[in-house]
Amino acid sequence: MLNPEELVDAYGSPLYVYDLDRLRAARRDLRDALPDGFTTYYSLKANPHPLIGATLRAEGCRAEVCSTGELLSALEAGFPAGEILYGGPGKTTAEIDLAIGRGVRTFSAESPADLTRVGDSARRHGVTADCLLRINGSAPAATTSIRMTGTPSQFGIDEETLPQVMDGLLDTPGTRVVGLHFYPLSNARDEDSLIAEATQSIAVAAAIRDTHRVPIEVLDIGGGFAAPYSVPGRRPYYRKLRGELERALDLHFPAWRTGHPRLAVETGRYLTGDCGELLTTITTVKHSRGRRFAVLDAGINTLGGMAGLGRLLPLAVRVDGVPDGTATLTGPLCTPGDLLGREVEVPALAEGTILRIPNVGGYGLTASLIGFLGRPNPAEVFLTGGRVTAATRLELTRVPLTPPPAP
């Protein structure tokens, strides 16, 4: 990476720096870890910047979105609308109408009501929507990681309710059920947990196919691929995953090698996590009742980490550099909740020192409280081959609306 001081001099502090070469490397590693023929959906919730999306599109990824904003970012990044997967448990009529109007034709349905809403919109547009039924499995296979199945949830159709609802799902006007969607865990703690959930999803999908005669043209087994967040560390490389998935698919879907069904995974953090770091400058070093504080120009408005971590505040960041003691890292906001880490090992501290928070390419800026207290957002700088190739800044603006007519 270029010298942090030079980048901060040019673009200000705090500053997000994304290395697109590392983004491409993550895509290659994931491709190598999966059996041939898998489609990878990039989950824009991790980082919706169009340059991130465009880079992954060029590497063969498709887009998975859960909001109108993410859809517009995906389209700006060049993802073909007809290949976008639109998910999420709270899709409104207005956003479904917009998505179909923009050319989206594939949706993940989280409930019978969600499927009906998609179908109603599709009929208004004179089209049929291809839909995956997202399944909330009855029991988890892994005991660690962030659980997203096997519990009461807003996500997915409870597996045990399928006998009562399946006929209605398959006959929902305006829709064509083309397969199943699973997302049992997030940020798997280890490869064995990831494999256990993925192979169980494959087995459950086969059982649903056989019991309920569900056509499975597409099987999305979700994600769970891990990456360190806001601390030093390396993204894992999955050495056993390919073989274990191949064995499970050979058992339950023996025609998979000829494309029946089409197979997919989705991930955000694994692809983006280690491509980004946050540069932040110490504005004040102070001591208070036996503790040392470093007040930074980046706080929870810049690195909130509110999405996908299974917990809220405080964060527990660690910084790169040779340790020279500890300090509590706080941001500049006027709230005691603006805390990035307690008693963090830090290099020598002084006003003006730039700290580097690694592994925040995913769930960084747009997962933060960017509107809180009205501080300017950091710039985002993109590197390729060690050179700056683009720089942008996300701005929040209010748009005037026309008031309703007087009665």
Domains in the chain with CATH codes? 4-14+274-393 (2.40.37.10), 34-267 (3.20.20.10)
In 10 A of CB 232, how many CB atoms? 13
pTM exceeding 0.85 = yes
**Token output for 240:** 């056993």
Long-range (24+ apart) CB contacts under 8 A made by 95-103 are 95/67, 95/68, 95/71, 96/121, 97/121, 97/124, 97/125, 98/68, 98/71, 99/68, 99/71, 100/125, 100/127, 100/129, 101/125, 102/71, 102/75
Query: Which run of H or E residues covers position 75?
Result: helix 68-76
For the chain, the straight-line distance linking the first and the last C-alpha, in angstroms and rounded, comes to 61
Residues 202, 220: contact at Cβ < 8 Å? no
How confident is the model at residue 308, as a pLDDT?
32
What pLDDT tens digit does each residue of the chain (407 aa) get?
Answer: 579 999 999 999 999 999 999 999 999 999 999 999 999 999 999 999 999 999 999 999 999 999 999 999 999 999 999 999 999 999 999 999 999 999 999 999 999 999 999 999 999 999 999 999 999 987 655 455 455 555 767 878 888 899 999 999 999 999 999 999 999 888 898 999 999 999 999 999 999 999 999 999 999 999 999 999 998 899 999 999 999 999 999 999 999 999 999 999 999 999 999 999 999 999 999 999 999 999 999 998 999 755 333 344 446 677 777 778 899 999 999 988 888 888 888 888 899 999 999 999 999 999 998 998 999 999 999 999 999 999 999 999 999 999 988 88
